[in-house]
Amino acid sequence: MLDADLAALYEVETGALVRAVKRNAYRFPEDFMFQLTPPEFDNLRCQFGISSSWGGRRHPPYAFTEQGVAMLSSVLRSKRAAQVNVEIMRTCVRLRRILAENAGLAQRLDELEKKYDVQFKVVFDAIRQLMQPPSPQRRKIGFATDPDDNVIAHDRPARRNRKP
């Protein structure tokens, strides 16, 4: 999780969270926390539309692993930090359980596919497709061109010819 997201959960300013981490740097080895590289930060800025000149962040954020999040609650030492830490740990356990179940299901599916004929390949492919996380579908808006270079308007009501 990124430092700004954690700061919001812990109800502290991002700067205060980062200062607490830097004061206790010995508690945060590389597998607990790392700072995004400049290219990663630029990519993040592009995705979220964060300004680089006025407002927004000027330094790459810190990313915390599950262990880093657990360590944060001991560094921040507040009741809120302890409550947030408990909820984040519960969420991580649930995610690991879900991943393990899907891994087991994928393994069983592979075993079944080896066992049965090619006629079931379509069924196995469909099941694998259902196991994939859904991709967000966005409807197209604005203008597009067709192969004949005629402009086509999308998502606009048809115009009626009105008589004056």
pLDDT reported for residue 66: 82
- For 68, the enclosing helix (H) or strand (E) is helix 66-76
pLDDT reported for residue 62: 92
Strands (E), 11-92: 33-35, 62-64
Q: Facing residues of 34 across strands? A: 63
Question: How many alpha carbons lie under 13 Å from residue 57 in its C-beta half-sphere?
Answer: 21
Mean pLDDT of each 10-residue bin along the chain, 164 residues long: 88 90 91 89 71 64 87 84 82 80 76 67 68 62 54 50 54
Rounded to the nearest 5°, which phi and psi values hold at 141? -130, 165
pLDDT reported for residue 24: 92
What is the full DSSP assignment across 97-145? HHHHHHHHHHHHHHHHHHHS-GGGHHHHHHHHHHHSPPPPP----EEEE
Q: Report how far residue 59's alpha carbon sits from residue 37's, in angstroms, rounded to the nearest whole number.
A: 10
pLDDT reported for residue 106: 75
